[in-house]
Amino acid sequence: MSSVTNVVFVGIGGQGVITASDILAAAAFEDGFDVKKSEIHGMAQRGGAVTSDVRYGATVFSPMIPTGEADYVIVLDVTQVDYASRFKKPKGLMLTPLALGDDLFKGQRGTNIALLGVLAPHLTLSMRAWEGALLSHLKPELHAENLQLFRTVAERTRILS
């Protein structure tokens, strides 16, 4: 199963955990991978933790990532970092809002898109697939702002790494 990329998204209801995981799943699908995703949702308006697993590769079986085997753990809320660390494999990478520079990114809204921007250079998915998925999952009035945010963060991550 080493050909499968495992990404877990963790956050609190209302932060866009599900949207972020939908965008990644759609981008991977667009690039021709077998994709499966699962989620724990419904807590959006009650402030509970929300998690979503995305797995893609040549062939994916189980839709759930075994605990401790995620390649990437994307944490949208800093209070959930301790909880989320159980999902990461020893050499996996955890991305949190702390990875986002203050100068580029202000405030809570868009954390999900900005973190996808940080994630994108680590994966092999095409920018065309990423941007197509982003546009199809956001309302038209949010397109320009989020596309710019995604591109800027992705570009900066690419230069820094």
Partner 1 sequence: MHVREAAPDVSLLTVGMCHPLPLERVRDFVHSVDRCFVIEEGDPVLYEQISAAGLVVSRPPQEFRFGEMNVQRVRQLLTGESSPEASGPSPKPPELCKGCSHRQVFSVLSKHELLVSGDIGCYTLAALPPFSAMDSVVCMGASIGVGLGLRHALGSQDGRRVVSVIGDSTFVHSGITGLVEMVYNPPESGHVVIVVDNGTTAMTGQQEHPGTGRSLRRAPTSRLSIEGIATAVGVDRVEVIDPVAESNRFERTLLEMLASEKCCVIVARRACLLARKAARRDTSRATATHVTVGQCQQESE
Q: Which is nearer to partner 1, 62 or 126 (CB)?
A: 62
Nearest of 109, 103, 82, 126 to residue 20 by alpha carbon: 109
Provide the token pair at 40. 């724990």
Smallest distance, partner 1 to C-beta of residue 89, A: 12
Q: Which is nearer to partner 1, 41 or 143 (CB)?
A: 41
Smallest distance, partner 1 to C-beta of residue 14, A: 11
Helix axes 17-30, 127-137, angle to 10 degrees: 140
How many CB atoms sit inside 10 A of residue 90's CB?
6
Q: Compute and round to an integer the Cα radius of gyration of the chain.
A: 14
Smallest distance, partner 1 to C-beta of residue 155, A: 33
Amino acid identity of residue 71, one-letter, is D
Nearest of 86, 88, 95, 105 to residue 161 by alpha carbon: 95
Q: Which is nearer to partner 1, 89 or 156 (CB)?
A: 89
Q: Which is nearer to partner 1, 13 or 132 (CB)?
A: 13
Smallest distance, partner 1 to C-beta of residue 75, A: 11
Q: Which is nearer to partner 1, 65 or 114 (CB)?
A: 65
What b-and-e string marks burial along 124-140, b requiring 16 or more CB atoms within 10 Å of the CB?
ebeeebbbebbeebbee
- Euclidean distance between CA atoms 38 and 65, whole angstroms: 9
Q: Which residues bind partner 1 (CB under 8 A)?
A: 1, 10, 12-13, 43, 45-49, 51, 61-64, 66-68, 77, 79-80, 82-83, 85-86
Smallest distance, partner 1 to C-beta of residue 120, A: 26
